[in-house]
Amino acid sequence: MKFQFKPAVLGMAIVVGLTGVGVSAGSLVSAEGPAAATAPAAAVPTNVLANPDWTLEIPAGQDIESLFDFATLGTDNVYFRTEQGESSFVVQALDRKNGDKNSWKYDFRAGTKMLSGGDLAYGTNGDVYFLGKRAEDKTHTLRAVSKQGKLKWTTPVEVEIGGDLHAMPNGDILLLSSVQGPKKAEMYTLLRTFGQDGKLKSEKKVEVSRILENGQVLGDAPTLQLYASIHALSKPILDYAIPKDYMLFYNFHSNSSGPAVYPLTGGGTVIEIYKDVKIKKSKSNEAGIGSKHMMVVFDAKGKKTLERPLADDETFVTAGSGYILQKGQTFEAYDANNKRTGTQTLEGRDLWMMVAPSGEVTVTSKKDGRFYALNAKTLSKVHEVDMNADAERVRGYSFYYAGKGELYMLGRGEKTVFRYTLK
């Protein structure tokens, strides 16, 4: 079996509407948005956003737009990874209640010309952890920045190959990395555990390849083995022989771009696998190479319950105890028993589906400025907005939806972040 996530590789790495709320004069004028502030009250659509809770201007030269969808929600802050030139690892934090007053950014390059590696993790205490190596450093360094944007501590760490950094719910910081043994062909995976003070608590050799965002662990084996946690490696909760020529796909719906292994509430699991196939050559694909994808569903006992090929225009996300399948503008929700529980057809080009921290499913069209927040089980609309309603020209928008009515919006090519509370 080909396994795409053999030992730890560095990784790093929504838009909403307000139904039944009117628009105050000039509500989005400063962002050159399309808000019909001058239109007669009766003509204003009910899904146009009202005045924002606050706005914040992002400094020039700082690209927040490209990664705006993949924010991380903290207790007090919402964190965006932004770009500021090459080898850039900049964290932009916005205070959720008063983003225009208590925001900060931290550039982990700190003036260095080159920064290699780079893995970010966000602690439950609000700290941001970063593993990287500056040009002048002899080793990698683990750094912690407080939720106020101040450097708290640094810890030198020997990392030979890769690095997989995670902040756990109990406060521990886990680092999974590959180590070259004494013999040239010998290599093993080392798990190190650090406390919130940066001090090493333990280290041990393990036979795992990746720690997932929810704390589950992928085993380092010929088959796909999934364990409940790093502390429960005696028996896998899932052991699946991936079919010949197939490989585990990537999770492009999260900011880690990790393996496409998704837990379901109640203990089930969904994975996505793929294999390369030959297709007819075209101007856009001179090599004539494509891919064939398949979704595989397992119950809480690790038994396979569904093996479903995916068409080229099909994708899915998991939410709660089920999953949502997208084909173009059509969405279908299924429970853990693969019974359809809801369906929805939405407007907009290049619709992109994600799951908010609240569990709501968001569907957005950056091109058309459309956003939908949907109930994950029934796919009924919770919020809806059309940012280009009554606009003379259609503009693009990026969104991050924290759930429960908390929306962050950025106009395409603009530097002003808007925060709204949806009712």
Cα–Cα distances in Å, from 278 out to 3, 272, 287, 312, 314?
21, 20, 9, 14, 19
> Is residue 3 pLDDT above 60, yes or no?
no
Mean pLDDT, range 149-176, rounded to an integer:
90
Contact 131, 157 (CB under 8 A): yes
Total domain count, the chain: 1
Q: What is the pLDDT of residue 86?
A: 63
* Predicted local confidence at residue 48, as pLDDT: 60
Q: Is residue 154 part of a domain?
A: yes
Residue 185 lies in a domain: yes
Cα–Cα distances in angstroms (integers) from residue 90 to residues 87, 382, 413, 414, in the given order: 10, 33, 19, 18
Q: Report pLDDT for 18.
A: 33
- Residue-averaged pLDDT of the chain: 84
Per-residue confidence (pLDDT) for residue 337, from 0 to 100: 87
Number of neighbouring beta carbons within 10 Å of residue 209: 25
Of 38-42, 132-136, 163-167, 209-213, the range with the lowest mean pLDDT is 38-42
Residue with tokens 């050559």: 281
Go through 144-174 and write b for each residue having 16 or more CB atoms within 10 A of its CB, e for each that does not. bbbbebeebeebebebeebbbbbbbeeebbb
Of the chain, the percentage scoring pLDDT greater than 90 comes to 58
Other Cβ atoms less than 10 A from the Cβ of 407: the count is 28
What the block records as the tokens of 85 is: 């030139």
What is the pLDDT at residue 17?
32
What's residue 285's pLDDT? 66
Q: What burial letters (b/e) apply to 17-26, b meaning 16+ CB within 10 Å?
A: bbeebebeee
Q: What is the 3-state secondary structure (H, E, C) of the chain?
A: CCCCCCCCCCCCCCCCCCCCCCCCCCCCHHHCCCCCCCCCHHHCCCCCCCCCCEEEECCCCCECCCCHHHCEECCCEEEEEEECCCCCCEEEEEECCCCCCCCEEEECCCCCCCEEEEEEEECCCCCEEEEEEECCCCCEEEEEECCCCCEEEEEEECCCEEEEEEECCCCCEEEEEEEECCCCCCEEEEEEEECCCCCEEEEEEECEEEECCCCCEEECCCCEEEECCCCCCCCCCEEECCCCCCEECECCCCCCCCECEEECCCCCEEEEEEEEEECCCCCCCCCCEEEEEEEEEECCCCCEEEEEEECCCEEEEEECCEEEEEECCEEEEECCCCCEEEEEECCCCCCEEEECCCCCEEEEECCCCEEEEECCCCCCEEEEEECCCCCCCCCCEEEEEEECCEEEEEECCCCEEEEEECC
Q: Which of 5-19, 263-277, 351-365 has the lowest mean pLDDT?
A: 5-19
Domain CATH number, residue 46: 2.130.10
**pLDDT average, residue stretch 89-112:** 86
| Residue 15, pLDDT score | 31
Predicted pLDDT at 11: 30
Does residue 114 form part of some domain? yes
Please indicate, yes or no, if residue 317 is contained in any of the structural domains: yes
What pLDDT is attached to residue 13?
Answer: 29
pLDDT of residue 404: 93
**Structural domain contains residue 249:** yes
What is the model's pLDDT at position 185?
64
Q: Tens digits of per-residue pLDDT, 355-404? A: 999 999 999 999 999 999 999 999 999 999 999 988 888 889 999 999 99
Predicted confidence at residue 160, as pLDDT, reads 76
In this predicted structure, the answer to whether residue 44 has a pLDDT above a threshold of 50 is: no
Q: What's the pLDDT at 365?
A: 95
Mean pLDDT, range 100-107, rounded to an integer: 87
Q: What's residue 116's pLDDT?
A: 72
Least confident of 13-17, 96-100, 399-403: 13-17
Handedness of CA 367, 373, 375, 378 (dihedral sign): negative
pLDDT value at 38 more than 70:
no
Give the pLDDT of residue 397.
94
In a domain, 21, yes or no: no
The answer for residues whose C-beta is within 8 angstroms of residue 288's C-beta and 6 or more apart is 278, 279, 280, 281, 282
Spatial distance between the Cα atoms of 84 and 336, rounded to a whole number of angstroms: 43
Q: Quote the pLDDT of residue 29.
A: 29
Q: Which of 10-14, 107-111, 145-149, 338-342 has the lowest mean pLDDT?
A: 10-14
Judged by average pLDDT, the poorest of 170-184, 239-253, 298-312, 394-408 is 170-184
| Domain that residue 75 falls in | 29-421
Interval 227-232 mean pLDDT: 93
The rounded distance, in Å, linking the Cα atoms of 27 and 413 is 19
> At 37, phi and psi to the nearest 5?
-65, -30
Average pLDDT over residues 291-318: 94
Mean pLDDT of all residues in 239-267: 90
Is 51's pLDDT higher than 90?
Answer: no
Q: What is the pLDDT of residue 197?
A: 95
Q: Summarize the confidence of residues 309-333 as an average pLDDT.
A: 96
How does pLDDT run across 172-208, given as a tens digit for each residue? 999 998 887 777 667 889 999 999 999 999 999 999 9
Q: Is residue 196 in some structural domain?
A: yes
Q: What is the pLDDT of residue 202?
A: 95
For the segment 340-354, the average pLDDT, to the nearest whole number, is 96
Mean pLDDT of 110-130: 83
Specify the pLDDT at position 87. Answer: 57
Tell me if 323 is assigned to some domain: yes
